[in-house]
Amino acid sequence: MTSKLWVFRDIDPDRRATLARALSISPATAGLLLARGVTTPDEATAWMTPLQAHDPFLIPDIEAAIDRLHYAVQHGERVCFYGDYDVDGMSATSIYYSFFRGLGANAQAYVPHRVREGYGLNEGAVRTLAAEGVKLLVTSDCGTTSHHEIAVANQLGMDVIVTDHHQTDEQMPPALAVMNPHRREARYPFRGLCSGGLAYKVADAYRQRYGQGTVALDSLLDLVALSTIADVVPLQDENRGFVQEGLRQLSRGARCGIRALKQVAGVTRECTSETVGFKLGPRLNAAGRLDHAIKGVQLLTTESESEAMQLAQELELLNRRRQELEAEIMREAIAALGDGEVPPAIVLASRGWHLGVVGIVAARLMERYHRPAIVMAINEQGIGKGSARTIPGFDLYQALASCKDLLVAFGGHPSAAGMTIHESRLPEFQSRFAAVAGAWSSTGNAFPTLHLDSEVSLTEVNMRLIQEIGSLHPFGAGNPEPMFAVKGLAIMEARVVGEKHLKMTVRQGRSLPFDSIGFGMKSLSEQGLTLNQPVDLAFTPEINHWNGHDRIQLRIRDMRATARE
């Protein structure tokens, strides 16, 4: 096993000591705050308490949007809330649909089919909705680059409101409103909102100007938390307050669809960011990957317990099938790469792969080989559609932009993107994209690194530290889970549990022994280590609840042999 390069955050020890004294917290926790840009006691207080939400009227075009929505509500016009097929799109669509249905709007929800229609607005759907009498089309998590489709909607007598947080073009589409915090002229002070957060802000602005109906605004924060965590936007600024309250609602199960989803997922404890990321989110996404994401919207908006359970059980079966397909495609992808040298960027495509799973496989390949990865499914017409994932520092959006003459379409973020390409252009695209990645990695950027907050001694790892860390929740993008290093540990015991997890008891000098667990690390020998040699651990401290007892446990993130002095 090759250990990653451990990179410690640059923390001034004097500032750490000053902040620790001012707040009466441990030096380790003070270092965590400094690493997140929190340098004063006032900033620390603001970080650890929910931030006052920003004025929604600073979002571009929001006044035009809520005025048009109000007109539609007052005049009974048919409104369609049109969302993407991921958790953010489903949640944002559900926020809009629930809030405006509570106002008595003539509302419907629409989510395109991933395979038959593809991402974003499509002309076929626009024409169908116009024929059904829709007068106002409101997008969620798509629409910023849909110039043609919005022009068609306008020609057919529909007004379009765009709610999106993807990267923008220089020219905005011909929509009545384009609410995107990434617009160059945007005055909104925080650009990290996902589409669910934006939909919530639109509902807030509407409530402030025109009042609310039967759905209380804050009751929608569970959906905002789902979308914010699942879309991996920064858990900073007002997102922290949204997610904190949203997680409390998810834990209570205030929504019958959430209660059913938690039941089939086996979630019985308090909901955390990890619950959303690894339990609830994948099951919702399974609908869009293998069937139809409208089922996710139906689950999140139904008021029927029986319907909620039926939908949740369908999503559970879809998620199990997704796991099987993912494993199958992953095996084929690894075989395709072979045993030779892996190129600077991985670009793989096949006619036998399922479009709904390629994004997950791209993420797995990126993690395994530490390379930008693109995985595509090619249809019978020779059109490849796929997803890209990247390692820290490599901007996918800009890399794809440098290859745009080879692509039919592309879009997304610096860290995740999607594209469409003709099969005949694949070899040239593979070569050019790998060259772009190779030029970047030649500067030394591509070596696997692990960013650690600080080195501590085991005597500093106590209940007080864990309680202080708890005040920094929720963790995720932009607020990573704390990770410490401890060096020169003696291994008192090591064994494999659950077939693939490494369980150890360690101590440092004369310290008390600590339990530690390395998920998926298997045996010491798999890590290239032996029982009688000192080791360094990169870890996150946590409480292990087992058999009615609470004990401190070190969750191992990486390990290596202690360097000889």
46: how many CB neighbours lie within 10 A of its CB? 15
DSSP class of residue 460 equals G
Residue 179 · residue 163 · CB < 8 Å: yes
Which sign, positive or negative, has the C-alpha torsion 4, 10, 12, 15?
negative
Residue 389: strand pairing partners: 373, 416
122: how many CB neighbours lie within 10 A of its CB? 20
d(CA 119, CA 117): 7
pLDDT in tens, the chain (565 residues): 456 889 998 899 999 999 999 999 999 999 999 988 888 888 887 777 766 789 999 999 999 999 999 999 999 999 999 999 999 999 999 999 999 999 999 999 999 998 889 888 999 999 999 999 999 999 999 999 899 999 999 999 999 999 999 877 778 999 999 999 999 889 999 999 999 999 999 999 999 999 989 999 999 999 999 999 999 898 988 999 999 999 999 999 989 999 999 999 999 989 999 999 999 999 999 999 999 999 999 999 999 999 999 999 999 999 999 999 999 999 999 999 998 889 999 999 999 999 999 999 999 999 999 999 999 999 999 999 999 999 888 999 999 999 999 999 888 778 888 999 999 999 999 999 999 999 988 765 667 788 899 999 999 999 999 999 988 888 888 888 999 999 999 999 999 998 899 999 999 998 999 999 999 898 998 888 999 899 999 999 999 887 778 899 999 999 999 987 6
DSSP assignment of 316-343: HHHHHHHHHHHHHHHHHHHHHH-SSPPP
pTM of this prediction exceeds 0.95: no
Task: For the chain, report the end-to-end CA distance as a whole number of angstroms.
Answer: 22
Residue 299 · residue 257 · CB < 8 Å: yes
Greatest CA separation for the chain: 78
Bridging pattern class, strands 383-389 and 373-378: antiparallel
Q: Give the CB-side neighbour count of residue 13, counting CA atoms within 13 A.
A: 2
Q: Tell me the H-state helices in 160-280.
A: 195-210, 221-230, 238-252, 256-265, 273-275
Burial class, 503, CB count within 10 angstroms (exposed 0-12 / middle 13-18 / buried 19+): middle
CA angle (379, 353, 441) in 5-degree steps: 105
What domains can be seen in the chain, in order of their start residue? 56-316 (3.90.1640.30), 341-447 (3.10.310.30), 451-561 (2.40.50.460)
